[in-house]
Structure 1
Amino acid sequence: MTIYTLLVDFACASGLILIGIFLRAKIKFIQETFIPASLIAGFLGLALGPNFLNVLPFSETIGSYAGLITIFVFASVGINGFSFSPGSMKKDLNRMGAYASYKILTMAIQFSLPIAFSILVISKVAPQVNNGFGMLLVAGFYGGHGTAAAVGSSFEALGFADATDLGMTAATIGILAGIFGGLIFIKWATRKGYTQYVKDFSKISDDLKTGLVQKENRTAIGSDTISSIALDPLAFHMALILIPSGLGYLLNTYIEERWALGFPTFTIAFVLALIMYVALGQGKKGVYKYVDDRIVTRLGSSATDYLVFFGVASIKLPVVVEYALPLSLLALSGIVVVVFMMRVMGPAMNNESWFERSIFVYGYATGVFAIGLTLLRIVDPENKSKTLSDTAIVGSLNTPIELFAWSAGPAMLMGGQHWTFVGIFLLIGAVCVAANIIFKWWYLKTPLGERGAVENEPIFGSAQE
Structure 2
Amino acid sequence: MSVNDFLLDFAFASLFIVIGQLIRAKVPLVQKFFVPASMIAGFIALVLGNQGLNVLPFSNSIGSYPGVLIILIFAAVGMGGFSFSKTKFKSEVERVGSYFSYKVLAQAIQFAFAPLFGVLVISELFPEINYGFGFLLASGFSGGHGTAAAVGSAMAELGFTDATDIGMTCATVGILSGIFGGLFFIKIGTKRGWTKYIESFQYISGDLKTGLIKDEKNRGSMGKETVASVVLDPLAWHLALLLIASGAGFLANGWIKDAIGLDLPSYLLAFLIGMAMFLCFQKTGVGHYMDNTVISRISGTATDYLVFFGIASIKISVIVEYAIPLLLLLLFGMVLVVLTLMYFGAAMNKGSWFERSLFVWGYSTGVFAIGFILLRIVDPENKSKTLNDTALAGPLTTPFEMFAWSMAPSMLLCGQHWQFIILYIVIFAACILLNRVFKWWWLKMPLNRPAEQEF
Mapped to 2, the partners of 1:229 and 1:295 lie a distance apart of: 18
1:430 partnered with 2:432: no
By how many angstroms is 1:259 displaced?
2.3
1:369 is matched with which residue?
368
Question: Secondary structure in 1 aligned to 2:314?
Answer: coil
- Paired residues in the alignment total 454
Counterpart residue type for residue 88 of structure 2: S
1:244 partnered with 2:245: yes
1:462 is matched with which residue?
none
Mapped to 2, the partners of 1:203 and 1:361 lie a distance apart of: 21
Mind listing any 5+ residue stretches in structure 1 that lack a counterpart?
A: 458-465
Mapped to 2, the partners of 1:92 and 1:4 lie a distance apart of: 55
1:460 is matched with which residue?
none
By how many angstroms is 1:52 displaced?
1.6
1:322 partnered with 2:321: yes
By how many angstroms is 1:400 displaced?
1.1
1:207 partnered with 2:187: no
1:289 is matched with which residue?
288
Q: Deviations over 1:177-211 (max 9, x none)?
A: 10000000011101111111111111210110111
By how many angstroms is 1:100 displaced?
0.4
Mapped to 1, the partners of 2:65 and 2:189 lie a distance apart of: 40
Mapped to 2, the partners of 1:57 and 1:268 lie a distance apart of: 34
Question: Secondary structure in 1 aligned to 2:54?
Answer: coil
1:222 partnered with 2:223: yes
Structure 1 window deviating more from structure 2 (94-103 vs 396-405): it is 396-405
Mapped to 2, the partners of 1:242 and 1:311 lie a distance apart of: 21
1:36 is matched with which residue?
36
Mapped to 2, the partners of 1:230 and 1:380 lie a distance apart of: 43
By how many angstroms is 1:83 displaced?
1.0
1:232 is matched with which residue?
233
1:269 is matched with which residue?
270
By how many angstroms is 1:46 displaced?
0.6
By how many angstroms is 1:334 displaced?
0.6
Task: Output the TM-score relative to the length of structure 2.
Answer: 0.98
1:299 is matched with which residue?
298
Task: Output the TM-score relative to the length of structure 1.
Answer: 0.96
> Does the CA contact (< 8 Å) of 2:203 and 2:377 recur in 1?
no
1:448 partnered with 2:447: yes
Mapped to 2, the partners of 1:322 and 1:125 lie a distance apart of: 15
Question: Secondary structure in 1 aligned to 2:282?
Answer: coil
The correspondence of residues 147-226 of structure 1 with structure 2, limited to 5 A, is: 147-215=147-215, 216-226=217-227
Question: Secondary structure in 1 aligned to 2:181?
Answer: helix
1:335 is matched with which residue?
334
Question: Secondary structure in 2 aligned to 1:224?
Answer: coil
Q: Deviations over 1:269-326 (max 9, x none)?
A: 00000000001115xx711111111111111011000000000000000000000111
Question: Secondary structure in 2 aligned to 1:446?
Answer: coil
Question: Secondary structure in 2 aligned to 1:56?
Answer: coil
By how many angstroms is 1:367 displaced?
1.0
Mapped to 2, the partners of 1:128 and 1:375 lie a distance apart of: 39
By how many angstroms is 1:381 displaced?
1.2
1:351 is matched with which residue?
350
Mapped to 1, the partners of 2:33 and 2:204 lie a distance apart of: 12
Q: Deviations over 1:71-94 (max 9, x none)?
A: 000001111111111101001101
Mapped to 2, the partners of 1:214 and 1:190 lie a distance apart of: 28
> Does the CA contact (< 8 Å) of 2:170 and 2:330 recur in 1?
yes
1:387 partnered with 2:386: yes
Two-structure CA RMSD over aligned residues (Å): 1.0
Mapped to 2, the partners of 1:200 and 1:234 lie a distance apart of: 41
By how many angstroms is 1:53 displaced?
1.2
1:129 is matched with which residue?
129
Counterpart residue type for residue 353 of structure 1: S
By how many angstroms is 1:126 displaced?
2.0
Structure 1 window deviating more from structure 2 (285-294 vs 129-138): it is 285-294
Question: Secondary structure in 2 aligned to 1:154?
Answer: helix
1:253 is matched with which residue?
254
Question: Secondary structure in 1 aligned to 2:369?
Answer: helix
2:281 is matched with which residue?
280
Mapped to 1, the partners of 2:260 and 2:306 lie a distance apart of: 31
Mapped to 1, the partners of 2:293 and 2:134 lie a distance apart of: 35
Counterpart residue type for residue 79 of structure 1: M
Mapped to 2, the partners of 1:381 and 1:10 lie a distance apart of: 35
By how many angstroms is 1:19 displaced?
0.5
The correspondence of residues 108-119 of structure 1 with structure 2, limited to 5 A, is: 108-119=108-119
1:55 is matched with which residue?
55
- Kindly report structure 1 stretches of 4+ aligned residues shifted beyond 3 Å: none
Mapped to 1, the partners of 2:44 and 2:276 lie a distance apart of: 39
> Does the CA contact (< 8 Å) of 2:152 and 2:167 recur in 1?
yes
Q: Deviations over 1:308-347 (max 9, x none)?
A: 0000000000000000111110011111000011011101
By how many angstroms is 1:439 displaced?
0.7
Structure 1 window deviating more from structure 2 (207-216 vs 92-101): it is 207-216
